[in-house]
């Protein structure tokens, strides 16, 4: 069947736009629903799935994996753009990769049913990164392809509506999907977004006769891409998107570090106790609210004072993003002091971040399209998306770097591997050498059984246990852990196995750490040893509503842990305090220091962007010009 290959000659909106907007809303529901729960799933659920192994994943490791996935998702658009611009055209690539996308969601929904859960997870994320990422530049460019010179003035409006549909789908999914994970488990939480992706594909297919199907460029793509003008455009845009990369390095942490921060906050807001993953849905609420405010009020008002170019908008967005991270840094300072600040403060940070998103993300999306030569639309859109990937890889790299390996777990894995052949399931004591292999007093002791793992014993264990008992005793009387000054006084004179003073660190209102620098005498290395003490908090009272009738009386996580025989500690239902001995395995950039690092990075980016924006000269390209 032959399709129309040019934009409609019309002054109004192209007829195929409703199908693109409907597809984008459903597809974004699918993607953001999966993405909203990924960090929490990795850190709290994955190790409980059938076929999974190991302990709960550390937050830094979960953050690293989330941003590696984000980076892969935003890097694969290069493949999608080449397939669309050179070989098949945007429509065929969108349909084909959407099917791959659906297969990825199906793989995630299969976790725990049979086979190895981690392998199903990896397969699902790879397929989603390939499918969702591959169609990303094609969908955005496909929107622009529907417009000609007669209605090109409507491009800013349609990109705003395009972004409106993105945020509508994201808002609904980030409310529903965490709720499904909490009460019905990972299979429903990953399955429902998969079903919505199938709906998105169907909606897009229905509009096939109304679209302008711009033919692929073929060899003309390479001629244009590597002629003098094409190379100049790519080089000219590269610095723009290096700045944008830093913006996205901060923005996408709303799906990782901001979620983990909200777990340590009082999440009661508007009479409801929100789930940590649901807070990010307010980003979409703010964006949907701010878009008309910016378009109808702020932009026209500023235009009366000075010309408002795309680069000026982006520069203002960089400043607002820095302000948002400064605010979450102050929130973390309060958490590091043992406080439990109101979630209202993080919501205020989301308001700043959302305003920054409108000024940077929407503008950069339109800017990428208008600056691209006609046969390079999808490919140049990849510059914008590759910037997002680069920002996420930066975050993944930082989180990989700050993780401190566990000396005991490294050696234990080697030991178990070496004795695998004669393992008969009998309990045994394993002695693992410490930093100084010639010092028997510096060794670690692990008592093992085939189906159980008894707590680690480290050098100076008795002293650490006494220190923990003192801290717990104070917390029982006061109702909270002591502050740092009080703890130093309580632990005064208590030395580790090497004669050095113990340290005390508050991680949040319910968790503290007592530790020693270990055998090497250097802090924050794999030879550190200590105890982490956790205090259970009473569960907040929840208002009963009609919505509660839709869920079970007990969360999926509680049911699953009981099925597996995992002890659960809750206030009033078991031990109030729990403690875990560790040897390494912590992080170098702890608490507020982590957020201050990224705040400073964004602030420097905003400052450096000003002189660049002053000298940049844009040039627009449209399909029928």
At 123, give phi and psi (nearest 5°): -60, -45
| Mean pLDDT across 228-250 | 85
Could you tell me the pLDDT band of residue 423, with boundaries at 50, 70 and 90?
very low
| Mean pLDDT across 480-502 | 92
Strands across the sheet containing 444-449: 428-432, 444-449, 452-453
- The domain ranges of the chain are 17-403+592-615, 405-536+571-586
Tell whether pTM > 0.75.
Answer: yes
Strand partners, 506: 512
Within 13 Å, how many C-alpha atoms sit on residue 277's CB side? 26
| Mean pLDDT across 233-241 | 82
Q: Which pLDDT score, from 0 to 100, does residue 78 have? A: 83
Could you tell me the pLDDT band of residue 539, with boundaries at 50, 70 and 90?
low
Look over the chain and give the mean of its residue pLDDT values, rounded to a whole number.
Answer: 83
Which residues are CB-neighbours of 179 under 8 A, at least 6 positions away? 275, 278, 551
Given a cut of 60, whether residue 393 has pLDDT beyond it is: yes
Closest CA to 431 of 453, 408, 410, 454: 408
Rounded to whole angstroms, the Cα distance separating 251 from 240 reads 17
Which residues are CB-neighbours of 284 under 8 A, at least 6 positions away? 167, 168, 170, 171, 174
Rounded to whole angstroms, the Cα distance separating 291 from 280 reads 18
Q: Which of 365-369, 523-527, 602-606 has the lowest mean pLDDT?
A: 365-369
| Mean pLDDT across 506-511 | 93
Structural contact between residues 250 and 326, judged by C-beta atoms closer than 8 angstroms = no
In 403-460, which residue ranges form alpha helices assigned H by DSSP? 407-418
Largest CA distance in the chain: 85
Could you tell me the pLDDT band of residue 569, with boundaries at 50, 70 and 90?
very low
Superfamily name with CATH number, domain 17-403+592-615: MFS general substrate transporter like domains (1.20.1250.20)
Per-residue pLDDT reduced to its tens digit, 177-213 = 999 999 999 999 999 988 888 888 888 888 777 776 7
Q: Which pLDDT score, from 0 to 100, does residue 433 have? A: 76
Q: Which of 7-16, 334-343, 496-505 has the lowest mean pLDDT?
A: 7-16
Strand, coil or helix: 164: helix
Q: Which pLDDT score, from 0 to 100, does residue 370 have? A: 75
Structural contact between residues 265 and 537, judged by C-beta atoms closer than 8 angstroms = no
How many residues comprise the chain?
Answer: 625
What angle in degrees, to the nearest 10, is found between the helix axes of 117-145 and 90-110? 160
Which residues are CB-neighbours of 219 under 8 A, at least 6 positions away? none
At 522, give phi and psi (nearest 5°): -115, 135
Q: Which pLDDT score, from 0 to 100, does residue 434 have? A: 76
Q: Which of 97-101, 143-147, 329-333 has the lowest mean pLDDT?
A: 143-147
Rounded (to 5) percent helix, strand, coil in the chain: 65, 10, 30
Work out whether strand 428-432 and strand 268-269 pair parallel, antiparallel, or are unpaired.
unpaired
Rounded to whole angstroms, the Cα distance separating 559 from 470 reads 34
Could you tell me the pLDDT band of residue 548, with boundaries at 50, 70 and 90?
low
Per-residue pLDDT reduced to its tens digit, 404-417 = 988 777 666 565 55
Structural contact between residues 255 and 396, judged by C-beta atoms closer than 8 angstroms = no
Strand, coil or helix: 329: helix
Q: Which pLDDT score, from 0 to 100, does residue 1 have? A: 58
Per-residue pLDDT reduced to its tens digit, 439-470 = 766 667 765 554 445 568 888 999 999 999 99
| Mean pLDDT across 337-343 | 95
Rounded to whole angstroms, the Cα distance separating 152 from 235 reads 26
Integer CA distances (angstroms), 260 to 42, 60, 253, 346, 423, in order: 12, 10, 10, 12, 39
At 14, give phi and psi (nearest 5°): -60, 150
Given a cut of 50, whether residue 570 has pLDDT beyond it is: no
Per-residue pLDDT reduced to its tens digit, 111-161 = 878 778 888 999 999 999 999 888 877 777 777 676 666 666 667 677 667
Q: Which pLDDT score, from 0 to 100, does residue 356 have? A: 97
């Amino acid at each position: 069947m032959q399709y129309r290959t040019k934009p409609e000659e019309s002054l109004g909106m192209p007829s195929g736009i409703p199908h693109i907007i409907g597809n984008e809303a459903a597809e974004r529901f699918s993607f953001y629903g999966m993405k909203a729960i990924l960090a929490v799933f990795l850190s709290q659920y994955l190790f409980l799935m059938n076929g999974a192994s190991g302990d709960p994943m550390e937050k830094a490791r979960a953050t690293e994996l989330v941003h590696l996935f984000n980076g892969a998702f935003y890097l694969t658009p290069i493949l999608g753009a080449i397939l669309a611009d050179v070989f098949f055209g945007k429509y065929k690539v969108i349909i084909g990769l959407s099917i791959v996308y659906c297969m990825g969601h199906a793989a995630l929904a299969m976790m725990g049913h049979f086979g190895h859960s981690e392998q199903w997870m990896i397969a699902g994320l790879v397929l989603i990164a390939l499918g969702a990422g591959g169609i990303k530049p094609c969908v955005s460019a496909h929107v622009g392809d529907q417009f000609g010179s007669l209605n090109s003035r409507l491009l800013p409006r349609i990109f705003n509506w395009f972004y409106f549909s993105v945020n509508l789908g994201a808002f609904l999914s980030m409310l529903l999907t965490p709720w499904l994970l909490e009460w019905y488990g990972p299979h429903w939480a990953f399955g429902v977004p998969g079903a919505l992706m199938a709906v998105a594909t169907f909606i897009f297919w229905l509009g096939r006769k109304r679209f302008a199907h711009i033919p692929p460029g073929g060899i003309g793509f390479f001629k244009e891409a590597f002629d003098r003008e094409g190379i100049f455009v790519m080089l000219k845009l590269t610095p723009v998107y290096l700045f944008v990369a830093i913006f996205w390095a901060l923005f996408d942490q709303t799906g990782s570090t901001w979620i983990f921060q909200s777990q340590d906050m009082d999440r009661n807001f508007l009479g409801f106790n929100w789930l940590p993953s649901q807070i990010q849905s307010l980003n979409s609420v703010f964006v949907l609210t701010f878009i008309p405010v910016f378009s109808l009020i702020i932009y026209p008002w500023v235009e009366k004072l000075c010309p408002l170019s795309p680069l000026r908008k982006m520069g203002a967005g960089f400043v607002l993003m820095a302000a948002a991270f400064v605010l979450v840094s102050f929130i973390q300072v309060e958490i590091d002091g043992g406080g439990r600040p109101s979630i209202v403060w993080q919501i205020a940070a989301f308001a700043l971040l959302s305003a920054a998103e409108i000024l940077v993300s929407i503008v950069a999306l339109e800017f990428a399209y208008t600056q691209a030569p006609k046969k390079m639309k999808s490919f140049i859109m990849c510059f914008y998306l590759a910037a997002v990937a680069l920002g996420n890889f930066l975050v993944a790299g930082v989180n990989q770097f700050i993780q401190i390996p566990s000396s005991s777990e490294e050696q234990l894995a080697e030991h178990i591997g070496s004795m695998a052949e004669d393992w008969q399931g009998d309990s045994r004591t394993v002695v693992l050498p410490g930093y100084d292999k010639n010092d028997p007093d510096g060794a670690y002791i692990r008592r093992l059984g085939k189906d159980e793992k008894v707590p680690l014993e480290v050098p100076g264990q008795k002293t650490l246990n006494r220190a923990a008992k003192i801290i717990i005793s104070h917390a029982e009387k006061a109702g909270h852990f002591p502050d740092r000054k009080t703890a130093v006084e309580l632990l005064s004179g208590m030395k580790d196995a090497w004669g050095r003073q113990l340290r005390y660190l508050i991680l949040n209102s319910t968790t503290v750490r007592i530790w020693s620098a270990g055998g090497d005498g250097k802090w924050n290395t794999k030879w550190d040893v200590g105890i982490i003490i956790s205090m259970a908090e009473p569960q907040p009272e929840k208002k009963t509503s009609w919505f509660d009738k839709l869920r079970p009386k007990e969360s999926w996580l509680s049911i699953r842990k009981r099925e597996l025989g995992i002890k659960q500690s809750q206030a009033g239902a078991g031990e109030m305090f729990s403690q875990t001995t560790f040897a390494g395995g912590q992080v170098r950039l702890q608490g507020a220091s982590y957020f201050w690092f990224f705040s400073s990075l964004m602030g420097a980016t905003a400052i450096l962007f000003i002189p660049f924006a002053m000298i940049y000269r844009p040039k627009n390209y449209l399909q029928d010009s």
